[in-house]
A and B are shown apart, each in its own frame.
Chain A
Amino acid sequence: MVIAGNRNLGLVMAKSNEPIFWSLFSAGGMVAALFLPILMVITGFLVPNELAPQYTLSYDQVNSAVSGSNIVKLVLFAVIALPFFHWAHRFKFTLVDIGLRKISLLLGVLCYGGAISATLITAIILWRI
Chain B
Amino acid sequence: MSYIRKVPNTWWLQRKPYFLFIVRELTSVAVAGYCGFLLYLMYALSKGRPAYSAATDLLTHPASYTLHTIGLLLVLYHTITWFNVTPKVLVFHLGEEKVPAVVIAGAHYAGWLATSALVAWLLLGTGTSV
Q: A interface vs B, CB < 8 Å? A: 1-5, 28-30, 32-48, 52-53, 55-57, 59, 61-66, 68-69, 72, 76, 79-81, 83-84, 86-87, 90-91, 93-94, 97-99, 118, 121-122, 125-126, 128-129
Grouping DSSP codes into helix (H, G, I), strand (E, B) and loop, the A interface class, with mixed when no group exceeds half, is helix
| Complex partner residue of A2 from B6, B37, B56, CB under 8 angstroms | B6
Contact A69 B59 (CB under 8 A): no
If over half of B's interface residues share one DSSP class (helix, strand or loop), that class is named, otherwise mixed; here it is helix
Contacting A at CB under 8 A, from B20-42, are 22, 25-26, 28-29, 31-32, 34-39, 42
Are the C-beta atoms of A40 and B82 separated by less than 8 Å? Answer: no
Q: Are B38 and A84 in contact (CB under 8 A)?
A: no
Interface size class of B (residues with CB under 8 A): 35 or more
B residues contacting A by CB (< 8 A) are 4-9, 12, 22, 25-26, 28-29, 31-32, 34-39, 42-43, 45-46, 49, 52-53, 56, 59-60, 64-65, 67-69, 71-72, 75-76, 78-79, 82-83, 108, 111-112, 115-116, 119-120, 123-124, 126-130
Is the beta-carbon distance between B32 and A84 smaller than 8 angstroms?
yes
- For B125, give the chain A residue with the smallest CB separation: A53
B46 touches A87 (CB 8 A): no
Q: When the two chains form the complex, which single residue of B8, B45, B82 contacts A59, counting CB atoms closer than 8 Å?
A: B45
Q: Which chain B residues border A32 with CB–CB below 8 Å?
A: 31, 35, 75, 78-79
- The reply to whether B76 and A37 contact each other, CB–CB distance below 8 Å, is yes
Picked from A57, A80, A93, the residue with its CB within 8 Å of the CB of B123 is A57
Interface pair A43/B111, CB less than 8 Å apart? no
User: B124 and A65: CB pair below 8 A?
Assistant: no
Let me know if B123 and A48 touch, CB within 8 A. Answer: no
The CA of A91 and the CA of B45, in the complex, are separated in Å by 29
By a CB distance below 8 angstroms, the chain B residues around A98 are 9, 12, 22
Interchain CB contact under 8 A, A91 and B59? no
Minimal beta-carbon separation of B17 from chain A (angstroms): 14
In the complex, what residue of chain A is closest to B37 when comparing beta carbons?
A43
Neighbour of B72 across the interface among A28, A37, A90, CB < 8 A:
A37
* Contacting residues, chain A, for B59 (C-beta < 8 A): 43-44, 47-48
